[in-house]
Chains A and B, each alone.
Chain A
Amino acid sequence: MRISILSLIYKSPRLADWIHDSVTEFTPMIARREAQFTFVANDPTEECLHHLQSRGYKHIVVRNPHRSDEELFRLGFGAPEYMHRVYRAYNEGMRQAESNIVVLVNSDNYFSPDWLENLEKYLSQRVVVTSRLVEPGHPRHGVFPDAIAAAFGGTVDTFDRKGFLDFAEKTKETGLMVGGAYMPCMIFRSVALDAGLYPEGNLAGRSFDQVRRYGDEAFYDRLRRAGVRHLTALDSVVYHLKEGEKDDGPLSAERRKAPGFPPPVARPAPARRLEVVNRTVDGTATLGVRTWRLYLGEAGRRIRRIPRSPVEIARAILPSWAFNGLRGVWRAMRGKRVRDG
C-alpha cells in the first residue's frame, strides 16, 4: 500500500457514506490496493462508530482529552476549542498511517476523476501538493482563499453531482499554482512527521479568542521552513460542501438564510503568498528552473537556479542598477528604523 487517505469523522453517518462512496468511485488505486481509505473517528458518537463498524469502513478511533479554553490558551492555542481535537486527530491519523504517503481530506469533500493520480505526480520530498478546491461558499466562512467559487450545493442532499463533475472536467488543466488551499493535501508521512505535524490548535494571540495563525497555516509554515514547497495541482479538482459535520443536518439555519454565494472571504489570505504561478512542471515534480524561466519570460533567462526569496527573484529579473538602487533605499530605511528605535 503506497497511499493512505485519511478523513476525520465524528458524528455523521450520512457524510461518512458520502465521502466513502465518492473516494471509492474516483480512486481506482483503492481497488488496485495501491491506496487505502481510512476514517479517523474523532471522539465519535456511538451512532457514528456503529455505522462505521456495520458498513465495514476501515477506521481508527481517537479519543481526545477535553481541555478548557484556559488550558488551551496556556498551551498557546486559541479558539475554537474543537480545532484542538481536529488537529490532534489528523496528527494521530498521520502517525498511525500504514503508508509512506498520506492524503488528508475533509469529510465533506467530493472528488473528481484522477484527483489522486494528479496529486501524486507532483509529489516529492520537497513538495506538499494540494487539490484545486471548488466551494459554494458559506455564510460565515465564505470561500477559502484560492478556491474556485461555484455553487453545486451546500449539503449532501442538494449536491449537484453531474453539475460538479461537468464543471471539473471543463475546469481542470495540467499545471501548478504556488500556494492554494490546505486540504485535500498529499505529503510524505516522514516529511510531515519531521516538520512536527499540525500544532494542536489555532495559534492564540493576546487572548484565547484572538487567533494569531490558523493551525493549517502554521503547519504549512513549518513545512516551508523545512524547505517543503506548497503547490496546488490544477488538474486535481475537489468539491468542498463547506457544510462539515458541525453544520450537518437537514439544512442549517444559516444556509437557509443565505443559500447562494456568501459574502467575501471571512478568513484572510495568508500574508506572504507568492504570486500565482500557473505553470506546468518539466517532469521533475517541482517548479524547476525551466518553469521559473517560463514564468518570468525574458528576464527569467538570467536565472541559473531556483530563486528562493523575493530578494533573489528581484536580483534575477531587475537590471543591476535598479536592484542596487532598491537595495540602497531599503537599507537606508532599515537604518532609519534602527536609529529611531
Chain B
Amino acid sequence: MIYLNAEVVSGLGEDTFWTWFQREFPSSRLGLPRKLGSEDIVLQYSTLGFANRSGKSLALLWELLPQMRDVLQSDSWDSRLKLIHECARFSTWRTTPTPLTSPHYDRFGSVDVLPIGVDTDLFKPLAEKRSLREKFSIPVDRKVGIWVGTTHPMKGFGRVVEAAQRDPHVHWIVVWKWEAEAGHLHGGSNFTKVPQVMLRELFNCADFFLSSSLLPSFFMAEWEAMACNLPIHFSDETLVKDFVPSPNPRDDVLRWHWDRKTARGLWADYLQGKGVAW
C-alpha cells in the first residue's frame, strides 16, 4: 500500500501530482496510517516533517526553501526548513525532482531523482494560435510573452515589469496564481486563478515564456509551458538552471522523463525496487 501524505492535495482544484498518483496507483491512499506493513510506504511531503512511523518512507523534497534562503538571504523560513531537514534525515529515502536540488540534502544520505511529472496530454502545442488570441482579446499581430506566478519575491515579477518597459512592442499575458498574491501589469492581459485547460490555451497564445525566477529550479508552470513547446526566455541569463531549454522545449520535457507516462513507469520501478507492493 502507498500512503500519500500531502500538505495540500489540490488547492485550486487542479490536477496535481497527488490526484494523478491516486489515479495511476488506485490502491494508494491519502493520509498517514497508524501502522505500516513491511510492503507499505509513505510518500511524505517534506514540510510536514518526519512521518513518525516505523517502516518505509520517502521524503518528497520538492520545496524550494533551501534555494530561497540562499538567494534571498533570509531566515524567515527556518522553522519550515527544520521540518524539511527532519523529514530528509529520518525518512528511509529521499527524492528531489532534478539533480540540481539534490546537494541541499545529500548530507542526510543518498538522494534519488524522480520526476514530479507534467501532463503532456493536456499541456501540448495547439495549432489555432490566432483564434485563441481572439478568444482572450490578445493582439494577433504583436509578439506575445507570457509569465505565470505570484508577487512572491522569488518569482521575480519586477523583472517582468522591467522587460515590459524595455520592449513596449511585446504584449504580455500575466497569469496570477490566486487572488491573495496577485499583482497587475499595466497594459498587459492579466488573468487570475485560471483553470489548467485555460492555462494551456494562454500558453498557446504566446510566442515565448519569460522565466524571471530568482531560483535555479524550474517552477511547474515553466515545465507546463515547455510541454506546450513554448520557447523559454530568461531574465537572468547567468542563472544556472536545471538545464538550458532547446528551441523545442517539449523535447526537453520528454528527454528529462517528465511526461506522466514515463514518470509513472519510473515511480513504479522505483517503488518496486524498494519492496513496496500496491
Residues of A within 8 A of B (CB): 28, 32, 113-114, 117-118, 121, 166, 169-176, 234-235, 278-283, 290
Given A171-B275, A174-B92: A114 in contact with B109 (beta carbons within 8 A): yes
Residues B52 and A280 in contact, CB atoms below 8 Å apart:
yes
A50 and B109 alpha carbons, distance in the complex (Å): 34
Given A121-B89, A166-B273: A113 in contact with B53 (beta carbons within 8 A): no
**Residues of B contacting A172 in the complex (Cβ-Cβ under 8 angstroms):** 56, 92
B residues 78-100 touching A (CB-CB < 8 Å): 86, 89-92
For residue B3, CB closer than 8 A to chain A, the reply is no
Residues A235 and B92 in contact, CB atoms below 8 Å apart:
yes
Residues of B within 8 A of A (CB): 36, 38, 49-50, 52-57, 86, 89-92, 106-110, 273-275
Known A-B contacts: A170-B275, A281-B90. Give 11 more (CB < 8 A): A114-B110, A169-B274, A173-B36, A174-B55, A174-B56, A174-B57, A175-B54, A280-B52, A282-B52, A283-B50, A283-B52
A159 and B52 alpha carbons, distance in the complex (Å): 35
Q: How would you classify the secondary structure of chain B's contact residues: helix, strand, loop or mixed?
A: loop
Can you name 7 A-B residue pairings with CB atoms under 8 Å?
Answer: A114-B110, A169-B274, A169-B275, A171-B275, A173-B92, A283-B49, A283-B50
Residues A174 and B275 in contact, CB atoms below 8 Å apart:
no
- Of the candidates A121, A169, A279, the one whose C-beta lies within 8 Å of that of B90 is A121
**Residues of A contacting B50 in the complex (Cβ-Cβ under 8 angstroms):** 280, 283
Residues A174 and B54 in contact, CB atoms below 8 Å apart:
yes
Residues B56 and A173 in contact, CB atoms below 8 Å apart:
yes
Residues A169 and B109 in contact, CB atoms below 8 Å apart:
no
Choose among A117, A118, A173 the residue with the greatest number of B CB atoms under 10 Å from its CB.
Answer: A173
Residues B86 and A174 in contact, CB atoms below 8 Å apart:
no
**Residues of A contacting B274 in the complex (Cβ-Cβ under 8 angstroms):** 169-170
Residues B54 and A169 in contact, CB atoms below 8 Å apart:
no
Q: Which residue of B lies closest to A116 (CB)?
A: B109
Q: Which residue of A lies closest to B112 (CB)?
A: A113
A118 and B36 alpha carbons, distance in the complex (Å): 20
Residues A173 and B55 in contact, CB atoms below 8 Å apart:
yes
Residues B109 and A117 in contact, CB atoms below 8 Å apart:
yes
- Of the candidates B54, B92, B106, the one whose C-beta lies within 8 Å of that of A28 is B106
A278 and B55 alpha carbons, distance in the complex (Å): 9
A149 and B147 alpha carbons, distance in the complex (Å): 58
Q: Which residue of A lies closest to B86 (CB)?
A: A283
Given A114-B109, A121-B89, A121-B90: A279 in contact with B54 (beta carbons within 8 A): yes
**Least distance between B186 CB and chain A CB atoms (Å):** 49
**Least distance between A340 CB and chain B CB atoms (Å):** 46
Q: Which residue of B lies closest to A172 (CB)?
A: B92
Residues B54 and A278 in contact, CB atoms below 8 Å apart:
yes
**Residues of B contacting A171 in the complex (Cβ-Cβ under 8 angstroms):** 275
A100 and B115 alpha carbons, distance in the complex (Å): 39
**Least distance between A275 CB and chain B CB atoms (Å):** 14
A169 and B103 alpha carbons, distance in the complex (Å): 22
Given A173-B38, A283-B50: A118 in contact with B109 (beta carbons within 8 A): yes
Q: Which residue of A lies closest to B49 (CB)?
A: A283
A176 and B53 alpha carbons, distance in the complex (Å): 11
Residues B38 and A169 in contact, CB atoms below 8 Å apart:
no
A28 and B106 alpha carbons, distance in the complex (Å): 9
A215 and B179 alpha carbons, distance in the complex (Å): 68
**Least distance between B139 CB and chain A CB atoms (Å):** 54
Given A28-B106, A113-B110: A175 in contact with B89 (beta carbons within 8 A): no
